Chains A and B, each alone.
Chain A
Amino acid sequence: DEPQHVRLKVAQCLRTLTACTHDEDIAAALHTLHSYVDEGPESFTTSVQRAEFRRAHYTRALQCLVSNVQADWLRRLAAAQRIELWDGLFLHGPPEQALLVLMEGIGSLRPSTNLDHLVSITERFLQSGRLADLLWSYCLETAPSDSPQLRETLLGRIVALPDLTANRLHPHNKPLFLPRQYYPLLASEMLTALERTCQALKGEDGTDCSLTFVAQTLGKVCIQGHSDVVLAVLAPRLSACTHSDMVWRRVCWKLLENVPQRWIESVLNGLVQSLLSRPDAFGRIIGNLVLTNKKAQFVITHKLLLLHYKYKTQVLRIVLGYLAADRERRPLLIQVLRSVSQAWANPSAVKHTPLEQQLYVTKALLLSVNLLTDSELQELRSELLQCLLGGMQSHLDSNVVQIRRVGMVVGECLSTRMDISGTKLKFEYEQDEDTRELLSLMTPAVTSDEPASSENKTGPRSSKTDPDSDLDSDDELTPYDMSGDQEISQASPPRYLRDCLETLISSEDPARVELSLRVAESLVRKNAFATREISVQLTKVLLHMEDKYSINGFLSLRQATMVALAATDCIPVTQYLTTEFYSLNYSLRQRLDILEVLALAAQELSKPITEKRDPSVGTAANTDLTLYPGDNPVHWRQVVEKRIQSNTKRLRRGATQPLAKATPNRYAPVAGHFFFPLLRNYDRPQLTFDLLGGDHLVLGRLIHTLGLFMHLAVNAPIAAQMGRALLDFVWAVRYHADQMVRRGVLFAVCSVFLSMPSQNLLLDFSDQLFETRTWLADVAEGDPDADCRSLAIQSLVLLDKSLKKQLQDPQALSPES
């Protein structure tokens, strides 16, 4: 019978190939084998025989060829003959078997010409589209119903081919096997297989096709991290094909359905990202997968919207647009809105998740609210309102400016959208990039060609509107700064500080109050003796002063004057301010003012005295103070960076700069007056002020200010004591829930390490250093706030540097021994 016959024939051929030395016999045997794989009409084998050979003997024959690859007869074959007979056998049989044998051969051979030969066959195998044949054969289920293990191996070989070849061939790897070329090739072969499937489905005979294997390949490629390359080829083509062709759509849906559960996530992630420029294609390609596949549903409605905050906003648009586009998927959109709004409003999330994630969730919230119809909104009204109120409260409570702004923007947008009895929320906040982006989400996205065309329309028109523009030669004259050109008032400013004080205390005339406030700083600086007499009194008046007349620049004028007072008559004023900081009946703003004044005064004192105190100093200080709202963290960061810069050694040749003239530090002798009184009483909660409780905004600023005092006290004799006290103080609050407090703590630690003499660091903290290091390492690794992490790293570096310096210097340890 036929199988028997084939087996005998093949066995004979293989024997010949192994043992025989006669070229004619060899050629005859190869021809015989060839006849089994050749489909041509002149073939003298029957189809049954061929099928039997393919099923049972093809792999064996190829293995035999590979094992005899070093035989002499192969060398003696003419090149053309070898390509036709030897190589041809690999390229014409069942592709999956050929690929497996080839990969096995490449895996087992040592580097030699034989290996090169196999590699070149593999290259031709790939180039001649055999991969598509392979995938297509699995679509048709004509491949033998193989074992799962075999299929797994085959999948592995196909997907990992670049890795396998790279491991074997090292520098001699072929360009075709590099991921950048191989995966696009694989993708286009997959497309070919899908296309054949479509044609088969459209055909008259209605062949059944299975996309399981293609789907598995896709899934496996994606989970191995090549989704971007593969989908960059696949997605645009699928998007184009599904545009009008229903069969293609069904094929795509089937394909996605067949991707195994464990790989569907990476496929979806890759797909969403590769479709950024074609938002509507996502729905066409995946169909209602989200309804049928639980895993896909979880990925789309949960992970993509809440967790993958590294993705662009466009991803959110795609996903939410997908959910909103279909009637059946619409309930999911509502469900998503519920979960997103809960996530947004969660007070613990506001505290413990990174800012970027909160922004991402906010965008998701706004986008999904925007997609709802009015009736759906009505249905969700109470829930949304609850979320809005609770969420806004926790956002507005935050110490981080961006989070507060997010709360305000969402409040405005949601209240506008929900139309709560005609009232809208309106906040005052500074626009920045984030808020602008959030606000822009509320207006529906326009398609990209619309604005371009309107621009074209307006372009020429606007250039025409200026008929006499050529006459306009004033433009060559650049204006000078005219900010000083203010209206002059009739009243004359007070000339004595006492008059000034009188006016500020008792006058009801806005013009006089304003004039007094404007000249107060220069009067304070001009006459130090007069200032000392009334410094505390004036400080008290200023601290309690309110902007009754909405004077332009009131806050900065008041602050500058208080700074001048604290710098001129340092000890009494600081004593007053530090006592008042902890006393009753002050607003948070006033307490923050106290801290800011102290910090600025300390900074001023620590700067070298300029020889001539000209009046321009006053105005210079004024311009510095325009950053009055103390939320800006840039300032101290600059300070730290400058400090680190100055600690960095730069080797250079050439003339050194002349040494700066030494001047006495005015801050060093009084540093303690600034610092220690603020450390008293912090744990004594009062009726109106609970530093360790709810008023963590002030706590953060306090610690930060203390850190600044520490930093400015570098080289002061008292620095060691200050550092010790500060570390003790911040140790208690180092795990505070508020990130502003943690930032302050880390800043303080940084400044301690910068300003403390390194020998003291080792002597005084030898017991705590280990714990501190562990804590810093923990923060550097795990803190949700990026600033905290980088500050912790900064502190670790400083600590290590200082310790290293100390341990390497034998002299330094001598006082201890």
Chain B
Amino acid sequence: MSRPAPSPIYTLRGAGGPLNTLHFSCFGGDTPLLFSGSGKGAIHIWNLNSRRAEKILEGHSGNSVIWVDTLESTGALISQGRDTRVWLWDLREGRSEVVDSVWTGSVGFCQSSLLESSPGIYLLAFAGQQTEEIKIIELPSKTPVCTLVPDTKLGMVMCIKLWQPDSGPGPLLLAGYEDGSLLLWDVTQRSKLSQAKAHPEPVMCLTFDTERLRGISGSSEKKLSPWMLDRQNNLQLQDCVPLVNPGVSHLCIRQDGKLLASAGWDHRVRVFGWKRLRPLAALQYHTDMVLSVAFSDHQDPRRRLLAAGSKDHRVSLWSIYSSNDGDNDG
């Protein structure tokens, strides 16, 4: 007998706009935090103990915030907005100042990707001003590292993921384009390693499991498309996972590699087992498109939550499969 469908353990309201992006930060300090970027240009810092917004950062001149992340070692917050800029915030000791900003030139919705290449040194990949252009710079020095442009016309860059493979010297970059192609770039060589046509429609989102070298991407179709990297770094498409309703805006794999969550246009968050992509749950709470999902990185596995941000101005938090022997409090 299957368990009844779960309901959220609590919700966060009052963001005042669609929640484009979510980011947990539970490592530093005592209070687990959740950052959210809204369509009205505000970044909310939610205290997950009091379940209130601790601080609201207004930035990007009121333009929509499409991506937030933290630079763990420096305690800085990084956010990207539709004002074609990436901003760096200093949040230490209660401050909330903009310390730097990077002009990207991209007017699209592509979220940037951050990778800590060596302690304190970060690589930031973002879509550039040209249609197919991806730029990589080093932070905090803002030194340009490279620019990646494919030979053929692929349309706008839709989503990117920068990662460091265990074998091999330099970082690699996965990018999804407007015509549904996926490209794997070698950043140091500035060359394309492989290419695959994952979708007939634009790639809306992708996520990648660096341990298993396996990723999955979503589009506006009724399916998710998983793929794999073989030893020669070739992208190999695998059997599609069907969805009930079309459209996925965001995908996220839990840190332990067990779960995959998808943010659906059908107002639902779907949870799959990551290894076999078996559907496990369809979380229904939101009344509008879900735009982003995130898994908490809390040290205590039992307090690792799933957060979903939606166009209906709400963030829902779910506790599913968070203890080892299955889930009892969901």
Contact = CB atoms under 8 A, between A and B. Distances in A.
A808 interface: no
B281 A487 contact: no
Given A479-B2, A480-B2, A487-B245, A474 B275 contact: yes
B215 to A, nearest CB: 18
Counting chain B CB atoms within 10 Å of each CB, the highest count among A473, A485, A486 belongs to A485
A479 B276 CA distance: 13
B51 interface: no
Contacts of A482: 2, 5, 279, 281-282
Contacts of A487: 244-245
Contacts of A660: none
A476 B273 CA distance: 10
Contacts of A474: 258, 273-276, 278, 280
B268 interface: yes
Contacts of B221: none
A487 B267 CA distance: 11
A477 to B, nearest CB: 5
A358 B279 CA distance: 47
The dominant DSSP class at the B interface is: loop
B169 to A, nearest CB: 30
B108 interface: no
Contacts of A476: 326
Contacts of A646: none
A451 interface: no
Interface in B240-297: 244-245, 258-259, 266-268, 270, 273-276, 278-282, 284
Interface size class of A (residues with CB under 8 A): 10 to 19
B288 to A, nearest CB: 12
A478 interface: yes
B3 interface: yes
A473 B212 CA distance: 14
B278 A479 contact: yes
A553 B283 CA distance: 23
Contact of B3 (A478, A484, A485, A486): A478
Nearest to B326: A478
Contact of B5 (A471, A473, A478, A480): A480
A480 B275 contact: no
Counting chain B CB atoms within 10 Å of each CB, the highest count among A472, A476, A480, A484 belongs to A480
Contact of B267 (A471, A478, A480, A488): A488
Given A473-B258, A479-B279, A486 B244 contact: yes
Interface in A477-520: 477-482, 484-488
B4 interface: yes
A358 B280 CA distance: 48
A80 B245 CA distance: 101
A481 B2 contact: yes
Contacts of B268: 485
Contact of B280 (A472, A477, A486, A488): A477
A714 to B, nearest CB: 34
B321 interface: yes
B6 interface: yes
Contacts of A472: 275-276
A277 to B, nearest CB: 39
Interface string A455-480: 00000000000000001111011111
Contacts of A488: 245, 266-267
A779 B284 CA distance: 56
Given A474-B273, A487-B245, A480 B266 contact: no
A422 B256 CA distance: 61
B326 A479 contact: no
Contacts of A480: 2-6, 280-282, 320, 330
B278 A484 contact: no
A384 B231 CA distance: 71
A477 B245 contact: no
Nearest to A484: B5
B244 A485 contact: yes
B4 A481 contact: yes
Nearest to B246: A487
A472 B276 CA distance: 7
Contacts of B4: 480-481
A477 B321 contact: yes
Nearest to A474: B273
A581 to B, nearest CB: 39
A487 B266 CA distance: 8
Nearest to B270: A485
Counting chain A CB atoms within 10 Å of each CB, the highest count among B259, B274, B276 belongs to B276
Contacts of B321: 477
A473 B273 CA distance: 9
A243 B326 CA distance: 61
Contacts of A479: 2, 278-281
A472 B273 CA distance: 10
B246 to A, nearest CB: 10
B245 A481 contact: no
Contacts of B5: 480-482, 484
A482 B266 CA distance: 14
Contact of A484 (B245, B258, B279, B282): B282
Counting chain B CB atoms within 10 Å of each CB, the highest count among A471, A477, A479 belongs to A477
17 contacts: A471-B275, A472-B276, A473-B258, A473-B275, A474-B275, A474-B278, A474-B280, A477-B258, A477-B280, A478-B2, A479-B278, A479-B280, A479-B281, A480-B281, A482-B279, A482-B281, A482-B282
Minimum-distance CB pairs A-B, first 4: A474-B273, A485-B282, A480-B281, A481-B2
Interface of A: 471-474, 476-482, 484-488
